[in-house]
Structure 1
Amino acid sequence: MTVVLHDLLPTELRRAWAVDGTCPDLDLYSLFRARLVADPHRTAVLDAKGALCYTALDRRVRSLAAGLQSLGIGPGDVVGVQLPNGRDAVMADLALAALGAVALPFPVGRGVMESECLLRRSEAVAVIAATRHRDHHHAADFVQLRPALPHLRQVIAVGADAPGGAVPLRTLSRTAPGPFLPARPRADDPARILVSSGSEAEPKMVAYSHNALAGGRGNFLASLIPDATPPRCLFLVPLASAFGSNGTAVTLARHGGTLVLLEHFTPEAALDAIRSHRPTHVFGVPTMVRMMLSSLDPDHEPLPAPTAIVLGGAALDETTAADAARAFGCSVVNLYGSADGVNCHTGLATTVPPQDASGLVAGRPDPMVTDIRITDPATHEPLPAGDVGEIESRGPMSPMCYVGAPELDARYRAPDGWVRTGDLGVIDEAGLLRVVGRLKDIVIRGGANISPAEVERGLTSHPDIRDVVCVGVPDALMGERLASCIVARAGRTVDLASVGRHLTTLGVERRKHPERLLLLEEVPLNPAGKPDRAALRTMVRASMGDCSQ
């Protein structure tokens, strides 16, 4: 056991959800084995290497678990995982669960400094990493980092040409699984650490138990499965992201479904996967769907209709939702969620989520997943329906604690277990949640506050704009100015004047209009699959000269 992971939610609440059946009260590997017994030949994973059934996957998982155990990895040990979407990432998830270890996945492409920070603060004893992914050599980087990380004992390399000092995963996977006995941890023990960039100087790490993943997050997906048939889920986002935690733990272990995985997202590959594999659910961010819609031929054959396109990770606008519903022939679900412990979605009752002046509805909080309340940001006292305040969340999916960051526990966790999200929202008289912005995501121009989310919502309805992200950039005179980073529709042009005219017609105050414009071919995505706002700020400053001067 390395870093101490304590549960900040009252024990009686955790136990109550297990007793009443809200949570399955089994560890993830035991849940997976139960699904294997129920349907041993069902396809578990579809990736670039083909199909892998539950029986074949479990054989590889047990071999890998035995190999990891031979390296001294056991219950409570934190193990980093930096792998692209594919069967190796799924095997690592399940093998670590079988050992009672704690998985710390983070997406490929994260820089060395950020990865070092995650491994250091979590006191990870090992890391499983790709030898090469595009231009990155993660396993070799970790071998170089090991002397600076006193807890890191092993680097396990996945792929050809393992660097010296690393253990090849293929060697561990040849370990005979016969004598291996699963650890069977308690369902309320930690199983996975989710990574969130959030608004902190360093990425936040949030510890989740087996029950919180398979129970709370599992109930979220259950609400989107109308007939209880095991789902077939296409993940366009990394399994190593917070959004991707609905993969192995939820799709496989809880619901006995199939994971359809792309090692790297491209709109063409995503569309091909929908045509070839006919997923019931597609998980992505709005920018990905806009790229897919732009890639569709106007006279394309109808696509196989999923049950739902589930979009989260960034604000969803009405235009994208309506276009996606028409193109894919299914409900578009607006998901509001985060690694910090909040989840709310619009469900299957509507094809396109409803919208009002404050943006798309986030849905009705589901106590089987998590309760949500609105509080005064200063006093943390609950506010009445209709008042805007900070969104707080507490329920079966609530995480245990922040990892290696007691200052974050003090800032974001209330004594009775509620999670302070830092998001602003309102719950109306009908019980519907709307998210209106972030407490910290504010551009301050000459002392006046501007919400980038408000301006983005307005510009998504501009007829010439396909995609838009608004960011603040430093300015010597005003402190900050708002910049709009825009992808124009094919054959269209956009300038600041047309942006301003459109916002004026919507009633957006002149002081909130963007003063910088960056035209893009595509919005850059960070390793988690979300718009890369830090990169966009740098690009704006480079295109205009250093705006702080």
Structure 2
Amino acid sequence: MNHTSVRHTDHIPADLRKEWAAAGYYPGQDLYSLFRGHARRSPGAAAVLDAEGTVSYGELDQTARRLAAGLAQLGIGHGDVVAVQLPNARLACAVDLAVAAVGAIVLPFPLGRGDRDAVSLLRRSEAVAVITVADHHGYPCAERIRKHADALPMLRAVIVAGDGAAETPGCVPIEALFATSAAEFAPREIDPDGPVRILVTSGSEAEPKMVLYSHNALAGGRGVMMAGLHPGAPATMRNLFLVPLASAFGSSGTPVTLATLGGSLVLRPAFDAIATLRTITETRPTHLLGVPTMLRMLLDCPEIRHTDLSSLKAAVLGGSALDLDTARRAEDLLGCAVVSLYGSADGVSCNSGLGRYDGTVGRPDPAVADIRVVGPDATEVAAGATGEVVARGPMSPLSYVNSPELDASQRTPDGWTRTGDLGLIDEEGRLRIVGRRKDVVIRGGLNISPAEVESVLITHPAIRDVACVAVADPLYGERVCACVATSAQLRLADVTAHLAAAGMEPRKFPERLLLLASLPLGAAGKVDRQALRVRAAEQGAGETRSGQEEVTA
């Protein structure tokens, strides 16, 4: 069987990779071998605690090996891309491990992305197979992908799981892969510097970027980052992922928590605040991993005051900025450290650590990713000066997938990734993110940072959550619309008065206001800003400041 192979070049100089390996930053083993080592040493240890119960390392290994044998019988092997769209549960973990075990490359993407996104990812990655569910909240995922087969010449199989799998025409039920036994699978030797996983951005690009990672980059750089967030032995880490494992944030799940650290994953198929509190009581996780909006939903639940949270060591928040007010509430109610994690699929990570949150994302760790702030001429700026954040380190990815134009625009010749984020490093070496280079509202030539406005609005006592987006305007080009989660009858004048009291210049004030019960979350668990832009545009989102009119949705 001929195998396809993702075309890639490692944009990190080979000598640097060797230096990091010599420094001990890389384990020098592929992900499945790392996992297999934990399974042999502690076969009875809990690997995954999901809605079905607990599965041990030994049991998960048996499942992964059977799946790997089934994938091999389908002709899937070295260098092939296998797309995976599954809910947070043991099967997603077993599939991840099985794809890695046969030397293939997993392309996970969350449920909830429509078939337009799915087809784009499958086409551009040249995936040979996709593993998905028959139904997700009434949406026939497998059937919809199968209908696009003519546009996907490399796709050889749609493998379907869940209720209705056997009745999905033209698809392979995942039970067929389990027809083989674990004993039929013989692991092959796999280059730890070779590709294993594609991370998909959840940003606002017309087509999401796909970023290719090696075994070493995931187990090395990301492994060091995760281990540093746990005061005990890594194997005692029990991580409750509130975001999809198929998101970029979720890549610290199976490859890192299980394969690298030998810890446990706590998983539920979807986020629900009350159910999450119940899960904490039942499973005793050490860490919560989610986005600030999810944390605010938890803190607003009256049930939180009657939940045993004593197992928690840290709440790790990524995906958007974390304000001090939310952090302080969480520290008080959860009784644990609150960590602001800055990271992206493009290859950057830094976090505020286990101390009291100070509003920064901490000091960069060269064992994870060296981070610099540079000016327009690409030279490093002085401490305290704002510039673009660039990163390079052991966790750096190999390349963008089949996209030489992105490699040329986003990577420097010596391997630094241009993040597009604006930040500064203060006199004490702490990194502060101040916004996105592209996430700017341009009102009549004035650049307004939504992140700056949001950081002040979230301190309003009646505002539970907020996101500022641009709305088109015939006179100024764009205006700022504040999309606010609240139960109060706020008016635009209330919002602007709060900003004025904080000392913000009036030119940056939102001129439209959209009141919501809660902010919508996208498939990856982050606030869906595109959905907010559409809603604001469709509903008019009120008038300008002079009209003082608002819309409640």
TM-score normalised by structure 2 residue count: 0.95
Contact 1:199 1:440 in 2 (8 A): no
Pairing 1:436-455 to 2, within 5 Å after superposition: 436-455=434-453
Structure 1 residue 188 corresponds to structure 2 residue 193: yes
* Counterpart in the other structure of 2:550: none
Give CA-to-partner distance per residue, 1:455-513, whole Å, 9 cap, x none: 0000011111111111001111110010011111x5x3321101001100111110111
Cα distance in 2 between the residues matched to 1:385 and 1:447: 28
- 1:357 matched residue in structure 2: none
1:247 touches 1:259 (CA, 8 Å); kept in 2?
Answer: yes
Partner SS, residue 190 of structure 2? coil
Please tell me whether residue 256 in structure 1 is matched to residue 262 in structure 2: yes
In structure 2, what is the equivalent of residue 277 of structure 1? Answer: 283
Report Cα offsets for 1:421-452 as digits up to 9, x if no partner. Answer: 00011111211100011111100011111100
Between stretches 501-510 and 380-389, larger displacement belongs to 380-389
Match of 1:461 among 456, 459, 462: 459
Alpha-carbon distance between aligned partners in 2 of 1:296 and 1:246, rounded to the nearest angstrom = 30
- 1:13 positional shift: 1.3
Are residue 218 (structure 1) and residue 216 (structure 2) matched? no
User: Which residue is equivalent to 1:202?
Assistant: 207
Task: For residue 135 of structure 1, report the CA deviation from its aligned partner.
Answer: 2.5
Following the alignment from structure 1 to structure 2, what is the Cα–Cα distance between the partners of residues 298 and 434?
30
Deviation at 1:211, TM superposition (A): 0.4
* Separation (CA, whole Å) in 1 of partners of 2:11 and 2:543: 43
1:295 aligns with 2:301: yes
1:313 to 312, 319, 334: 319
The aligned counterpart of 1:500 is: 496
Partner of residue 232, structure 2? 227
| Deviation of the 1:292 alpha carbon | 1.0
Partner of residue 343 from structure 1, selected from 320, 329, 349: 349
Map of 1:93-172 to 2, 5 A cutoff?
93-162=96-165, 163-172=168-177
- Structure 1 contact 464–493 (Cα < 8 Å) conserved: no
AA of the residue aligned to 2:95? A
Q: Distance in 2 between matches of 1:259 and 1:245?
A: 12
Q: What is the SS of the residue equivalent to 1:193? A: strand
Residues 287-338 of structure 1: CA distance to partner in whole angstroms, max 9, x if unpaired?
A: 0011111113475254234110000001111111111111111000000100
Could you tell me which amino acid in structure 1 is paired with residue 445 of structure 2?
G
User: Could you say what secondary structure the match of 2:159 adopts?
Assistant: strand
What is the correspondence of 1:322-361 to structure 2 with a 5 Å cutoff? 322-350=328-356, 353-354=357-358, 360-361=359-360
- Check whether the contact 2:368–2:394 (CA below 8 A) recurs between aligned residues: yes
Check conservation: 2:280, 2:308, Cα contact below 8 A: no
* Partners of 2:400 and 2:71 in 1: CA distance: 26
Secondary structure at the counterpart of residue 320 of structure 2: coil
Amino acid across the alignment from 1:433 = L
Deviation at 1:197, TM superposition (A): 3.2
How many aligned positions are there?
538
SS of match in other structure, 1:75: coil
Give the unaligned 5+ runs of structure 1.
Answer: 355-359
Q: Per the alignment, in what secondary structure is the counterpart of residue 431 of structure 1?
A: coil
* Residue in structure 2 matching 1:413, options 400, 406, 411: 411
Structure 2 equivalent of residue 521 of structure 1: 517
Q: Deviations over 1:354-376 (max 9, x none)?
A: 1xxxxx20110001100000111
Matched, 1:531 2:534: no
Q: CA deviation at 1:281?
A: 0.8
1:481 equivalenced with 2:490 (yes/no): no
Equivalents in 2 of 1:437, 1:100: separation in Å?
38
Q: Which residue of 1 aligns with 2:536?
A: 540
Identity of counterpart residues, as a percentage? 54
Alpha-carbon offset, residue 179 of structure 1: 2.6
RMSD: 1.4
Mapped to 1, the partners of 2:391 and 2:338 lie a distance apart of 24
Q: Deviations over 1:15-48 (max 9, x none)?
A: 2222221110100000001111121100101111
Closer, same or farther: CA 504–19 of 1 in aligned 2, 3 Å: same
| Counterpart AA for 1:55 | G
Matching residue's letter, 1:276: E
Counterpart position of 2:64: 61
Once residues 523 and 311 of structure 1 are traced to their aligned partners in structure 2, the CA distance between those partners, rounded to angstroms, is 17
Name the CA distance, whole Å, in 2 between partners of 1:397 and 1:175. Answer: 35
Q: Deviations over 1:403-431 (max 9, x none)?
A: 12111111110000000000011111211
Q: Which runs of 4+ in 1 moved over 3 A?
A: 545-548
Aligned CA distance change for structure 1 residues 72 and 274 (closer, same or farther; 3 Å): same
Separation in 2, partners of 1:267, 1:199 = 26
| 1:30 alignment partner in structure 2 | 33
Alignment partners' CA distance in 1, 2:323 and 2:506: 22
Distance between the aligned counterparts of 1:537 and 1:135, measured in 2? 25
How high is the TM-score relative to the length of structure 1?
0.96
Between 198-207 and 69-78, the greater mean CA deviation after superposition: 198-207
Aligned to 2:394: 396
Contact 1:61 1:92 in 2 (8 A): yes
Moved more, 9-18 or 412-421: 9-18
Amino acid at match of 1:541: A
**Cα separation, 2, equivalents of 1:296 and 1:289:** 13
**C-alpha distance in structure 2 between counterparts of 1:545 and 1:434, whole Å:** 32
